[in-house]
Amino acid sequence: MSRTKPSRPPALRYRHARRPDVEQLADLALRSYRVRTLEAQRQFYTDHPRFAFTDVRVGEVDGALVASLVFYPFTAFVRGARLPVRGIGGVAVSPEHRRRGIGEALVRAALREMRQRGDAFSMLYAFRSDFYQRLGYGLIERSLMISTPPALLPASPEIRRVRRMRLPDRPLVEALYARLAEERGHFAFERRPEWWSRRLWDYEGDWVVYERTRGQIEGYLQYQIDSADGPWKLVVNVNEIMAATPDAQRGLWAYLHALRDQAVEVTALVPDDFVWPVATSDPANLRGEMKLFGHRSRGHAGYGGMLRVVDVKAAFEALPVAREARGEVAFEVQDDVLPANQRVWRVHAGGGRLEVRAETPRMQGSRSRLPRLTLSVDMLSSILAGALSPVLAAEAGLIADVRDAAAITESWFRARPAFIHPFNAF
């Protein structure tokens, strides 16, 4: 009895969206996500503060529009430098065309377009990480998901400097975010004025600020209240907390502590290296505490953004690295989706930058003497973002290490954990 061969995915025509497509796009998004009204979906494509209609792409099968996605042009801060990153979002496939390879074909076509236009990096949030990992995206954003009674958060007299935000504070808050994102952020996005004015300032919830002296704002907090269980069982959902000083940090968390008489829970998403959970008086996770051996959890591990190297040479040369980075290593990259990346790249580090050459046949004689890492493009993406240690990756068998290449490159990309911030999600 012969096996049935898997059916080939239907031929997909990939193209720019056109204005007459708007109604079909809105209907496709409505049936794909079921979370917005038709009018809201229509407005998403025609009047969005972070992309233009020229950034929308569609996929057709037999002349019918069955899939779509959106390009988001972002600037991310990496070691204080501005790094262009093209986000992908709004990936939609009609329910009747799913499980046929259309979504994968759409993203593959988008990656080819990005490479042709000169993009070095792509970023997205995955509906399922293994789907995008197969397409070369590596996880870069790990977070701590806190769910704790506010009484366990640290109190502080610095709460006296916390007050509700007023309209004149808005430019100061915008400037504070811009400064902290540039100075401390790792893949935090630069925010356009339109994103603040048309989305964030009208976002449901409350804003409070930490004001050291009159007009000197050193931190802010935005949160929402879920009162579904009544006024004495409130859930406080923290959307963004930014503090320039330790006092501001103490004051803002003390403000959440002060809500303990009404609120039963505070939830927050914070970077993986965030230290404040250590200061809580007890490790209590209201949404399912784990106990393993003698350990108790103070939070839950989460994952967010995924990064994809679209052009290996351009990515290495655009990425700022540690000033102390030195040495030369050969990176043997495996990339089935974008074959132009699949070769050996000789990378020299010095002066906070990387110089890259593709290995030629004449250079291969010295290849055996050069330290070398052999790795897939998704592993390369995680390493370049500082989310994955080359040494640990080699120890775990995720990459192949020859002549201590992992140890040489260990300091090149080391950084604070990437944190895109919930308000920057796309």
Instruction: Decide if pLDDT at 3 tops 70.
Output: no
Q: Rounded to 5 degrees, what are φ and ψ at 121?
A: -130, 145
Whether the predicted pLDDT of 39 surpasses 50: yes
Q: Where in the chain is the domain with CATH 3.30.1050.10?
A: 312-409
Amino acid at 84: P
Point out which residues pair with 265 in neighbouring strands: 235
Question: Which is more confident, 235 or 276?
Answer: 235
Cα 304 to Cα 73: distance, rounded to the nearest angstrom? 18
pLDDT score recorded for residue 78:
95
The CATH class for the domain spanning 13-119 reads: alpha beta
pLDDT above 60 for 151: yes
Gap between the Cα atoms of 408 and 383, Å rounded: 13
Residues 6+ apart with CB under 8 A from 36: 29, 30, 44
- Left, alpha or beta for 66 (phi > 0: left; psi -120 to 50: alpha)? alpha
**pLDDT grade for 5, boundaries at 50, 70 and 90:** low
Please tell me the pTM assigned to this model.
0.93
Backbone angles phi, psi at 87, to 5 degrees: -80, 155
CA distance 92 to 66: 8
Residue with tokens 């701590």: 144
The whole-number pLDDT of residue 6 equals 52
List of residues 6+ apart from 125 with CB closer than 8 A = 89, 304, 305, 306, 425, 426
Query: Is the confidence at residue 102, as pLDDT, over 70?
Result: yes
Strand pairing class (300-303; 372-376)? unpaired
Residue 339 CB contacts under 8 Å (≥ 6 apart), including other chains: none
DSSP string, 200-253: ITTSSSEEEEEEEETTEEEEEEEEEEE-TT-TTSEEEEEEEEEESSHHHHHHHH
Fold assignment, 144-302: Aminopeptidase (3.40.630)
How many whole angstroms separate alpha carbon 104 and alpha carbon 112? 12
| Residue 196 confidence (pLDDT) above 90 | yes
Under 8 Å CB-to-CB from 118, ≥6 apart: which residues?
311, 314
Q: Which regions of the chain carry the CATH code 3.40.630.30?
A: 13-119, 144-302
Q: pLDDT value at position 1? A: 47
Q: Token match 């890492």: residue?
A: 373
**Which pLDDT score, from 0 to 100, does residue 291 have?**
86
Lowest mean pLDDT among 48-57, 243-252, 359-368: 359-368
238, 173, 172: which is closest to 205 by C-alpha?
238
Residues 299, 317: Cα–Cα separation, whole Å = 37
| pLDDT digit string, tens, across residues 368-420 | 589 999 999 999 999 999 999 999 999 999 999 999 999 999 999 999 999 99
Higher pLDDT, 37 or 299: 37
Q: How far is CA 184 from CA 78, 83, 191, 311, 337, in A?
A: 9, 14, 15, 26, 34
Cα–Cα distance list, 266 to 221, 262, 422 (Å): 13, 11, 16
- Architecture, CATH, for domain 312-409: 2-Layer Sandwich (3.30)
Mean pLDDT for 263-269 is 95
Average confidence score pLDDT of the chain: 94
Determine the straight-line distance between the first and last CA of the chain, rounded to whole angstroms.
49
d(CA 111, CA 131): 15
